[in-house]
Amino acid sequence: MPQLKHGTRRAEAHNVGRISFFSAVLVFVLVLVLVGLSMSSIGRINANLDQIANYPFQAVERTGSLRVLSEQASLIMTRFPFINTPDVLEDVRRQVDEIYDQMDPLLEEIADAYLGPAADLDALRAQLDLVHAAQNEMMDYAADDDRSAQEIDDYQSVHLDPLQAQLDACMDTILSASHDSFLNLWAGSTTTYRFFVTAAIFLTVVVAVSLVCYNLLISRLNRTVRQKNDLFDLLCRTVDQVFVISCPSDPTQDYISQNCRAAFCLDDRETGGDIDRILDQIRQGIRPQDLPAFLDPPESEGRNYYNSAFRYENSRTNGERHFSFQIYRASLEGADYRFTVLTDETQALEVQRQLREAVEEARKASQAKGEFLSRMSHEIRTPMNGIIGMTTVALQHVGEPEKIADCLNKISLSSKHLLVLINDVLDMSKIESGKLELRHEPFDFNAFVESVSNVIAPQAADRGVDFQVVLRGMPDEAFAGDLLRLNQVTMNLLSNALKFTPKGGSVTLRITALSHTEETMWLRFEVIDTGAGIAEENFEKIFGVFEQENDSITARYGGTGLGLSISRRFVEMMGGHISLSSRLGHGSTFTVELPLARVSGAVETVLPASLKGVRALVVDDDQDSCEYACLLLERLGCRPDHVRTAVQALDTARTAVEVGEPFRLYLVDWKMPQMDGLDLVKKLRTQPWGKDATILMVSGYDTGDLSAPAKSAGADAVAAKPLFPNTLSQLLCRLMGSPLPAEETKPADLRGRRVLLVEDNPLNMEIALELLAPSGAALEQAENGQEAVDKFTASSIGWYDAILMDVQMPVMDGYQATGRIRALDRPDAAGVVILAMTANAFSEDVQKSLAAGMDGHISKPIDMNEVIAKLSRLLDQREEARHSS
């Protein structure tokens, strides 16, 4: 029995052994299966995780970077509605091109990481090309200065925004496909994991530990995936900064963000993906004195943070760039890490610099305006003191007519000076607000030049300054444009020249005809003086608003500092340009070049038959004057020649007699070197061939002083420079043939006219009544618009010929009163002439008066000659219209 038992136990043991063996084998097989399943599952999961890390996430990150660059390009394009100058256009075009250059490597990286259809990438590239082309077309469209902000916005909405939306859709497609790829890979990992868990359920307890270990391994891998997820999310949110992670104990964990190449302008071919080579390239571009702080930052006990900055430049940065960097030290799972964050501060520093400059410019502008107000206070008080002072003096000499007349003349001069100051301020205000509008009306160019000369010549004579006007080429006698602004520019420049030219100096207005077409002629106006001159560093400053060259100029000469700024704005608005050349102590030359519209047949030059073929000799020491006079004489049919001195004139005249072609006409300048014009005329008259010739003395000086001595010397007439075709033609016809009939001009006369004067200010009413009384008109008064309507309504038909209507009045203003009168059911309501006579002087005020039904607009202070002439002309036109109908 024991044996049996023993045998039984042995058998059992054997069985147990066998069972154990088989169990061990089974367990071993199960373990092998488990190990095989584990290895297989882990391998598949690792493969899926690597694919997730290397493909979908990379595609999402690069696509996000591409979207940011696209949005940057769109944001840059928004500058055009506000500023579309050529400089801004070039800058925007450059920035957009740089952004698209940055997009090319991103597209290649997306193509490498994208697991979706290749057609999506082709569509993205094609859409990027379309958007880029559309942005270039928009830049070309916005380049036109005439484009308004609304036009540019509309263009963008129609041509660019739809393409941008399609581009976003392409990127959304790639993002969505990458997300789907991630889900598919993750689903594969999940399936493998579930299969492994299902298989592990059938394993024995022996493999439980392996399952636990396996689960621990899976948990660790999941934790790694989550860490990578968090890292990629962080990088996607901070793509404008470069991150460097280094681990001295394990260099395989070193990491640098992909955007470092763009941030530091590195070439992929030089660096590849090697972190050490990338960092080496960055170090080479850092300024040597900044390099130690970046490579070996100081360490402080208990401090795990350090920050500093460096300057960086390489062959592709297009200038020096500024970077700040922060270094963080930390320990993770027993390993020491150093995290470095680098930020490009170049643009931020540039913005700060621009802000500082803007603040400084604002400070200077505020200071300039303060100085301007101070100057204006002085400039306005000076004529006001003259007006008030001379009024007081006149009241003290009531019984002395001569003294009162002198005071009134001085009051008039001070008033005109004050009006000029006010007009300058109003003009600048209109320019700054964009309310100034240029006129385009035909005008007589000869009359314009004569009027400028007539105003400036007496002022120059009073100052002891030589003034002359020189014409070069042959300008038309009529143009179309804004005569008022052209006259204002010319007078501003000439007044400045006179102001800064000392006694004994000279001021010259030289007008040159430049290129021309059938529609336009370019003219150059040069104002040349021999004054104090201007320092070159102040050339631009004097054209600024409220600016003068320096405080000593302001103190010595006065002025508002607006004249040149207004002149420049007017010239630019008329399509021209103004420039300056000057040397201190040697005078200045202001040059204005303007296009003026030609008016065909507006002024016809009379070509008398009596001058055809007449030989003429021009004697003038100024070459430009000689050439211009010869052009005029050729236009009149003469055969001119010219010389520069009186001696040459006598020799040339004798030679002409000897060859049988004597000169019948002489144009002789007054002041010439060696022998002046008067002596030459006397010598010509002593010669047999000079007794019957016609001699015309010409001078740029006051011809009143020349008239008597010229006639005593034997001259037939005296003419002032510059000569004009019609003026010269009329004069020579009178001297050498039958005079042309003079055009009859009917003087402005209001006799027999009844005028209603509507004015609420008693002083203005008194002034108007006194000034209008000599015109012969029968005058009636009304104190406001309602009274004017009542008087007109109560009058018989045709009683009033005209109404002078103030605008701003109590009870009823001038606009309402005009509308009420025009709406009356009587035949003379539409025909009565109504003129606005108001202090409202802006162009919109003129339009408002015309829109209210008035026939014209006259701004205060009133020039009664203008009022009478305008009334007379309008009344004559109404009578002609009634007779013709």
What pLDDT digit, counting tens, does each position of 49-70 carry?
776 767 777 778 888 888 888 8
- With H, G, I as helix, E, B as strand and everything else as coil, classify residue 686: helix
**Cβ–Cβ contacts within 10 Å for residue 450, how many?**
16
- Binned at pLDDT 50, 70 and 90, residue 817 comes out as very high
41 is written with which tokens?
Answer: 């599952």
Tell me which range, 255-259, 413-417, 681-685, is most confidently predicted by mean pLDDT: 681-685
CATH topology of domain 754-884: Rossmann fold (3.40.50)
* CATH architecture of residue range(s) 437-598: 2-Layer Sandwich (3.30)
Tell me which range, 62-71, 466-475, 828-837, is most confidently predicted by mean pLDDT: 828-837
Q: Do domains 609-736 and 754-884 have the same CATH topology?
A: yes
- What distance in Å separates the CA atoms of residue 483 and residue 570, rounded to the nearest whole number? 11
Residue type, position 578, single letter: I
**Residue ranges of domains in the chain:** 24-239, 240-344, 351-431, 437-598, 609-736, 754-884
Residues above pLDDT 90, as percent of the chain: 11
Torsion of CA 26, 30, 35, 36, to 10 degrees: 100
Superfamily of domain 609-736 in CATH is Response regulator (3.40.50.2300)
Residue with tokens 């120059």: 460
Report the pLDDT value the prediction gives residue 742, as an integer from 0 to 100.
45
| H-state helical runs in 238-338 | 260-263, 268-271, 275-285, 291-295
- Binned at pLDDT 50, 70 and 90, residue 368 comes out as low
Name the CATH code of domain 351-431 (choices 1.10.150.300, 3.40.50.1460, 3.40.50.1980, 1.10.287.130). Answer: 1.10.287.130
Report the pLDDT value the prediction gives residue 793, as an integer from 0 to 100.
93
**Residue 234 CA: distances (Å) to CA of 200, 385, 603:** 38, 75, 80
H/E segment holding residue 342: strand 335-344
371 is written with which tokens?
Answer: 């100085």
Residue 695 pairs in a beta bridge with 666
Report the pLDDT value the prediction gives residue 666, as an integer from 0 to 100.
93
- What distance in Å separates the CA atoms of residue 23 and residue 41, rounded to the nearest whole number? 25
CB 674 within 8 A of CB 646: yes
CATH topology of domain 240-344: Beta-Lactamase (3.30.450)
- With H, G, I as helix, E, B as strand and everything else as coil, classify residue 332: strand
Using omega within 30 degrees of 0 as the cis cutoff, is the peptide bond preceding 861 cis? yes
Pick from 392, 386, 378: nearest CA to 409:
386
The secondary structure of 456-500, three-state, reads: HHHHHHHHCCEEEEEEECCCCCEEEECHHHHHHHHHHHHHHHHHH
Residue with tokens 């952004």: 99
What is the pLDDT averaged over residues 536-547?
64
- With H, G, I as helix, E, B as strand and everything else as coil, classify residue 640: strand
503 is written with which tokens?
Answer: 């006694």
pTM as predicted? 0.47
Q: Residue 740: is its pLDDT beyond 50?
A: no
CB 269 within 8 A of CB 279: no
H/E segment holding residue 729: helix 725-736
Residue type, position 90, single letter: E
- What distance in Å separates the CA atoms of residue 464 and residue 503, rounded to the nearest whole number? 5
373 is written with which tokens?
Answer: 């107000």
What is the pLDDT averaged over residues 485-503?
85
Report the pLDDT value the prediction gives residue 557, as an integer from 0 to 100.
44
- Give every strand in the sheet of 856-859, ordered side by side: 778-782, 754-758, 802-805, 833-838, 856-859
Q: Residue 239: is its pLDDT beyond 70?
A: no
Q: Residue 559: is its pLDDT beyond 90?
A: no
Residue type, position 79, single letter: R
Q: What angle do CA 829, 830, 833 make, to 5 degrees?
A: 90
**Residue 875 CA: distances (Å) to CA of 628, 754, 833, 836:** 43, 11, 7, 15
Average pLDDT value for the chain: 78
Report the pLDDT value the prediction gives residue 761, as an integer from 0 to 100.
84
876 is written with which tokens?
Answer: 């004559």
Residue with tokens 């209603």: 756
- With H, G, I as helix, E, B as strand and everything else as coil, classify residue 9: helix
- Binned at pLDDT 50, 70 and 90, residue 743 comes out as very low
**Helices and strands (H, E) in the chain, number of each type:** 27, 22
